[in-house]
Amino acid sequence: MFRWILGLSAQRLRIGLQNRMSTLCSPLAAVCQVTSTPDKDANFSSCKRLVEEAKERGASMVFMPEGFDYIGSSREETLSLSESLTGDTISRYAQLARNLKLWLSLGGFHERGPEWETDRRIYNSHIIINDKGDIVSVYRKSHLFDVEIPEKGVSLKESAFTIPGHSLSSPVQTPIGNVALGICYDLRFPELSLALQKHGADILTYPSAFTVATGAAHWEVLLRARAIETQCYVVAAAQVGVHHQKRSSYGHTLVVDPWGEVLGDCGGEKPGMVLVGIDLDKVSRTRRNMPVMQHRRDSSFYQSVEEFSN
């Protein structure tokens, strides 16, 4: 009996070491947590320090949250601070990526819309920049946060000044795997994550600025659900803390693996970063061992609800 216990302990130790070695050999993703304000220069300085730290620690790709550029205190301020993709903010990040030779996920950029001069509306855009400083993908948020929860103190109407995106973006091949783009409220729509997985995603991203009330209730459970149902890694950079007198965010930047295990959590108090190895073999193993996508019926089946009659 004692010999059997020793053998079991040795086996667990061996498995643990194998998992650790796999993580150590995997490309590293740095997932950041920040507190943006209306001060764009201060926000860039804070994000730049995190990106530089990520590079020093060996990251191949860095993820920033929704509103990394700024979070305005009013509709008027939010619109006045917005820019085009060729403006100063994205140019600075492109130069940063080029200088440090790493990839950036910039989630939730306030991009001026195509009819800016006449309608003064913007997109909420998730931008991927490669290690040469090139924009390789732009996804414009398709589900807008128009929610009133008086008992929780939540009142936001994103559609008042934001144009919904018209389509999903194909997953982007990066040094850490095929990265699929979402933004914040998109997290609540499993159809989006399933479509992206079907198109080859290894990693789902939800850069966010969740409110404190909705974050405490739903943030972790939704992220873990999206990971479990798609058998993807889920990377969710988040805003945290007080942005101005009218707005605070929940924080808890998370990384979840394809089994639904939380690999890293920045907490809900202050800016920071989690560094996680992305093991694509784990994606393959999870899908092979539990082949839910093979068991899925065709789309017509899920629309065929019949009334029971006896």
- Residue-wise pLDDT for 270-308, tens only, equals 999 999 999 999 999 999 999 999 999 988 898 888 877
Residue 176 sits in a domain of what CATH number?
A: 3.60.110.10
pLDDT at residue 14 in the model = 52
pLDDT at residue 24 in the model = 59
> What digits encode the pLDDT tens for the residues 156-210?
788 889 999 999 999 999 999 999 999 999 999 999 999 999 999 999 999 999 9
Active site residue 141: yes
**Strand 154-157 and strand 172-174: pairing?**
unpaired
Model confidence at 123, pLDDT cuts 50, 70, 90, reads very high
- Cross-strand partners of 83: 111
> What digits encode the pLDDT tens for the residues 101-118?
999 999 999 999 999 999
> What kind and span of H or E run contains 77?
helix 75-80
Give CA–CA dist 282/278, Å, rounded. 9
Task: With respect to residue 9, please indicate whether it lies within any of the assigned structural domains.
Answer: no
pLDDT at residue 306 in the model = 83
Catalytic residue among 32, 111, 141, 266: 141
A 10 A CB-CB count for 269 gives 11
Please give the average per-residue pLDDT across 200-223, as a whole number: 97
Residue 152 main-chain phi, psi, to 5 deg: -105, 0
pLDDT over threshold 50, residue 19: no
Model confidence at 228, pLDDT cuts 50, 70, 90, reads very high
Q: Are 183 and 158 in contact (CB under 8 A)?
A: no
Q: Are 254 and 240 in contact (CB under 8 A)?
A: no
pLDDT at residue 8 in the model = 42
The tokens for 99 are 């200088």
Catalytic residue among 47, 184, 232, 266: 184
Q: Comparing C-alpha atoms, which of 235, 285, 284 is closest to residue 257? A: 235
Give CA–CA dist 31/14, Å, rounded. 29
Tallying the residues shown for the chain, one arrives at 310
Task: With respect to residue 14, please indicate whether it lies within any of the assigned structural domains.
Answer: no
Q: Are 250 and 214 in contact (CB under 8 A)?
A: yes
Model confidence at 148, pLDDT cuts 50, 70, 90, reads confident
Active site residue 306: no
Task: With respect to residue 119, please indicate whether it lies within any of the assigned structural domains.
Answer: yes
Task: With respect to residue 123, please indicate whether it lies within any of the assigned structural domains.
Answer: yes
Helix axes 40-56, 88-100, angle to 10 degrees: 10
Task: With respect to residue 285, please indicate whether it lies within any of the assigned structural domains.
Answer: yes
Task: With respect to residue 300, please indicate whether it lies within any of the assigned structural domains.
Answer: no
Task: With respect to residue 94, please indicate whether it lies within any of the assigned structural domains.
Answer: yes
Q: Are 185 and 145 in contact (CB under 8 A)?
A: yes
Give CA–CA dist 36/71, Å, rounded. 6
Please give the tally of structural domains in the chain: 1
pLDDT over threshold 70, residue 219: yes
pLDDT over threshold 60, residue 22: no
Active site residue 232: no
Please give the average per-residue pLDDT across 39-51, as a whole number: 98
Q: What is each CA distance from 80 to 111, 130, 160, 234, in whole angstroms?
A: 11, 28, 15, 33
Please give the average per-residue pLDDT across 26-44, as a whole number: 97
Eight-state DSSP code of residue 291: -
Q: What is the DSSP string of 204-261?
A: EE--B---HHHHHHHHHHHHHHHHHHHT-EEEE-EEEEEEETTEEEE---EEE-TTS-
Alpha carbon 152 to its chain's center: 24
Domain of 189, in residue numbers? 28-291
Task: With respect to residue 4, please indicate whether it lies within any of the assigned structural domains.
Answer: no
